[in-house]
Amino acid sequence: MRKLSHKYISNYMVFLFCLTILLAVNSGCITSAQTDYEPQQSSEAQQGYEPQRVILNLTENPAISQALTWRTISDVPNPQAQIALAVESPDLNEKAQTVYANSEKLELKDKKYVYHHSIVFNSLKPDTLYTYRVGDGENWSEWNQFRTASRTNEPFVFVNFGDPQNNIKSLCSRVFRAAYKKAPDAHFWHFVGDIVNRGDNDDEWADLYDAFGWIPRVTPMILLPGNHEYIKKKVNGEEIRELTHLWHPQFTLPENGPDGLKETVYFLDYQGVRFVMLNGNEKLEDQARWLNNILAQNPQSWTIVAIHQPFYSTAKDRDNPHLRDLFIPIFDKYSVDLVLQGHDHTYGRTYKMRDGIKVGDSEKGTVYVVSVSGPKVYSINENFKDIMVKMGTGRQLFQVIKINKTSLIYESFTATGQLYDSFELEK
């Protein structure tokens, strides 16, 4: 080993000393920045105030308003949201406006209570990115962002899901994540019912939000109830089925449907498309009358209708002739483009149909789709195979639907992200 000179050693010591000072100063700067940061929540006392299940829903005017719902375990004194234009600077709360929520106390099983809070942000600018957070003035969610719809018929994408319903956390999570990766810019997600298996079981809704993660905080959801969101009850010895009491508190959906069916039957116009959500579980004649009215005054180029129970069943031993009799003449009269359905836990996509028979691609007609996103699958029904372009079972699916003024491009993907079916409609 070579022996070092005294001069070299003393220069080296000076260098080490300076380096130590420099590091100390730098680490001091970092420490001082960190002391400005105050970690939020997590003490046990605050747990009950933490916003849970934050979900965006579309309103009937998605270009200028946005609905938002969340819940807390405790009864918070001032449930509120803050909203601001999304800017690059992190100083979001300086320009944020406060909007106070409507709240309701909801009883779960075993006399447990939770508190649901809802807000509709109004007077927003079209096609604009906003940021918001929810809380009570002290305990806050993170800041999230959403974009309002455009007032013009700009192209957009949405994602459709048939019934998740079963094993939602363990087996639907991957479908939701695959859908988010396939279409991260989807303007909203669309569910056709049987979202959970037992609609009054809050644990299953907890599974749904676990599976969703933060997606409903940034991507609005529109949903309608399936038969599994309806609960059997006995009234005066007679068995009836009633919408779960967990539906209305959890969602803030348009209230423009027939009386007694608000937030389960509604319509909204989104960039050139009229979306109509029907409820196949009750008051069907009322809905047929209402549908006739809203399609008679439809200025949009495209019309998409959703209902849980299919018109052309794809599951063995199932058929719904009463639905065909009631609604298909209305779909034909107003040339509905696409009908999205669930319930049959299989996949089926018809040719363009009119008056119960298939028609050519260039003729006026309606395409009917049945799909499933969850793991429960049924056997195929052969009765309607002649009108099906594609039928199948045994796989979890989601659909990415892209729409512009002249074309609708539909793609159905498996949970592994593989293309399973596709078609295009043109105007």
Contacting residues toward Fe ion, per CB under 5 A: 163, 165, 194, 226-227, 343
- The CA distance from 139 to 76, in Å, is 10
What is the biggest distance separating any 2 CA atoms in the chain, rounded to whole angstroms? 104
Kindly state the smallest distance separating residue 137's Cβ from Fe ion, in Å.
41
Which residue minimizes CB distance to Fe ion? Answer: 194
Answer whether 208's CB lies under 8 Å from 168's CB.
yes
Residue 221 sits at the vertex; the CA angle it makes with 216 and 224, to the nearest 5 degrees, is: 135
Kindly state the smallest distance separating residue 313's Cβ from Fe ion, in Å.
11
Q: Write out the two tokens for 275.
A: 């979306």
Cβ atoms within 10 Å of 256's Cβ, excluding its own: 15
Q: Which is nearer to Fe ion, 227 or 256 (CB)?
A: 227
Q: Which is nearer to Fe ion, 165 or 303 (CB)?
A: 165
Q: Which is nearer to Fe ion, 136 or 204 (CB)?
A: 204
Q: Which is nearer to Fe ion, 116 or 343 (CB)?
A: 343
Kindly state the smallest distance separating residue 290's Cβ from Fe ion, in Å.
22
- The CA distance from 5 to 3, in Å, is 7
- The CA distance from 373 to 396, in Å, is 5
Kindly state the smallest distance separating residue 228's Cβ from Fe ion, in Å.
6
Answer whether 348's CB lies under 8 Å from 370's CB.
yes
Q: Which is nearer to Fe ion, 114 or 415 (CB)?
A: 415
Q: Which is nearer to Fe ion, 187 or 343 (CB)?
A: 343
Kindly state the smallest distance separating residue 195's Cβ from Fe ion, in Å.
9
Kindly state the smallest distance separating residue 149's Cβ from Fe ion, in Å.
30
Q: Which is nearer to Fe ion, 193 or 254 (CB)?
A: 193
Q: Which residues pair with 122 in a beta bridge?
A: none
Kindly state the smallest distance separating residue 345's Cβ from Fe ion, in Å.
6
Question: Taking the C-alpha atoms of 323, 329, 335 and 339 in order, what is their torsion angle to the nearest 10 degrees?
Answer: 10
Residue 29 burial class via C-beta count within 10 angstroms: exposed 0-12, middle 13-18, buried 19 and up: exposed
Residue type, 334: Y
Q: Which is nearer to Fe ion, 50 or 204 (CB)?
A: 204
Sign of the alpha-carbon torsion through 275, 191, 405, 187: positive
Sign of the alpha-carbon torsion through 366, 367, 368, 373: negative
Kindly state the smallest distance separating residue 372's Cβ from Fe ion, in Å.
7
Q: Which is nearer to Fe ion, 226 or 348 (CB)?
A: 226
Residue 202 burial class via C-beta count within 10 angstroms: exposed 0-12, middle 13-18, buried 19 and up: middle
- The CA distance from 310 to 390, in Å, is 15
Answer whether 196's CB lies under 8 Å from 165's CB.
yes
Kindly state the smallest distance separating residue 194's Cβ from Fe ion, in Å.
3
